[in-house]
Amino acid sequence: MNGADGPILNDDEIKHSILNPIGTQRISELAKGKETVVIVVDDMTRTTPISRIIPHVLEALEEASISIDQITILLALGAHKPMNRQDCILKLGKDVVNTINIENHHPYENLTNLGESKIGTPIEVNSTYVDSDLKISIGGVIPHPLAGFGGGAKNVLPG
């Protein structure tokens, strides 16, 4: 994990950054008392090293007494193809795939209507995301030739 000119972070630095965020509460504090957690991750077309990040996020959730069965990983596919088991293992790691519920986002199914935009466009968001008590998004933000930037908020909409 590195920026354009930044150093590559090792696993201890990644863990420290996740467990000691700047400008917000720790994940373990945000998760206290929550019943359901969704972790949105970008798909195989993005280079975000999710398998190096997610174990530390899960550790923080465990500190808040969140069990594995309370967590869903939602794959933010946008307009890309669904990820199969092998894709998930490459992106998330085998241990995560074998223990946590994983869902591919589908652009026409399992959606909640949140209203309309100012110009009347329906705003529909993945229901697993909407219904979760705590929402965590992991992904990179990169230049995109058509959208300006990819990642970030695009993990939620278009999903």
Find the catalytic residue in 56, 80, 105, 106: 80
The strand pair at 134-138 and 37-42 is best described as parallel
The tokens describing 8, both together, are 């590559």
Assess whether 80 carries a catalytic annotation: yes
Assess whether 105 carries a catalytic annotation: no
Residues in the chain, how many? 159
Alpha helix (H) residue ranges in 8-135: 11-19, 27-31, 50-63, 85-92, 94-99, 127-131
Residues annotated catalytic, as ranges: 80, 144
